[in-house]
A and B are shown apart, each in its own frame.
Chain A
Amino acid sequence: MNIEWYIVLSALLFGIGAVGILVRRSPMVILLCLELMLNAGNLALVAFSRAVGNGQGQVFALVVMVVAACEVVVGLGLIVAIFRRKLPLNVDDLRELRG
């Protein structure tokens, strides 16, 4: 398959993730949609790595995976902390930090 198929697929997956972040209100699902967008970026990185014929893009993708794991850990910790305080798990109600 030609490289541009992978790139366009990755753009499509990125768009789907963006829809989720714009539309959903549960912080857990928003984190899942962030994962979708990060994975779309990973697919593009690996496709470009194949296009250049050089393994460095794959190292980049692995680092993105590490960052995604950290983001998930901290985000889920926040969700658990919000839940413990009996606050609503809805990003529209959690707006005290809004300027």
Chain B
Amino acid sequence: MEAVIFFLAALGAIIGAVGVVALQNPFYSVLALVVHLFSLAALFLLLTSAFVAAAQVVVYAGAVMVLYVFVVAYVGGGGEPIHDPIKGQRFLGILVASILFIELSAAILSSALLALGTHGPDVAAGFGDPAAIGRLLLEKFLVPFEASSLLLLIAAVGAIVLAARKREGSEAA
């Protein structure tokens, strides 16, 4: 049963990823990414990390994708030229990425990680649930937690500065 869910979710993730890359209309790319993110959330659940899966659905598939849809609707999709500016760019890109994939897989599979070939150790029932993650975030990882909140604040201010309309009398941004 676990294998069936894994292969379904992995298939969804791969199809979503290929859709993002291959679809010409950015709006469809965003929708393909939503499929990809939901499949990844299922994989996270299989890895007994419930809180990360929930955050994936709420933060990514909810908030970030809505932002994307708004910007795509505002800017308008399409207009990407079909021809390659560099000859054979498409073929070269796929070749380089295939080499990258083989390299990464070989590096992982030939490493001496003890957990390879196992399901991982048996974990207690509360592994990866919100209580456990919250305890880690507020005790052991308090400084990174605060730093990431500061980073979010800076990004929000930066987005406002970048995207705000120029007001009359203000210097040219």
Cβ B47 vs Cβ A46 within 8 A: yes
A94 lies within 8 A of chain B by Cβ: no
- B154 partner residues in chain A, CB cutoff 8 A: 70
Instruction: Tell me the interface secondary structure of chain B in the complex.
Output: helix
Q: How many of chain B's residues have a CB under 8 angstroms from any CB in A?
A: 88
Cβ A80 vs Cβ B137 within 8 A: no
**In the complex the two chains form, what is the Cα distance from A17 to B37 in whole Å?**
13
B168 lies within 8 A of chain A by Cβ: no
Cβ A35 vs Cβ B33 within 8 A: yes
Among B104-147, those with CB < 8 Å from A are 104-105, 108-109, 113, 115-123, 127-128, 132-133, 136-137, 140-141, 144
Q: How many of chain A's residues have a CB under 8 angstroms from any CB in B?
A: 69
Cβ B115 vs Cβ A63 within 8 A: no
- A46 partner residues in chain B, CB cutoff 8 A: 43-44, 47, 49, 52
Cβ A56 vs Cβ B140 within 8 A: yes
- Extra contacts besides A56-B136, A79-B75 (4): CB < 8 Å: A28-B77, A29-B80, A74-B162, A78-B162
B residues near A (Cβ < 8 Å) are 2-3, 6, 10, 13-14, 17-18, 20-21, 26, 29-30, 33, 36-37, 40, 43-44, 46-49, 51-52, 55-56, 59-60, 63-64, 67-68, 71-72, 74-75, 77, 79-81, 85, 89-90, 92-94, 96-98, 100-101, 104-105, 108-109, 113, 115-123, 127-128, 132-133, 136-137, 140-141, 144, 148, 151-152, 154-156, 158-163, 165
Of all A-B residue pairs in the complex, the 8 with the closest CB atoms, nearest first, are A51-B115, A22-B93, A77-B162, A15-B101, A70-B155, A11-B104, A20-B21, A53-B121
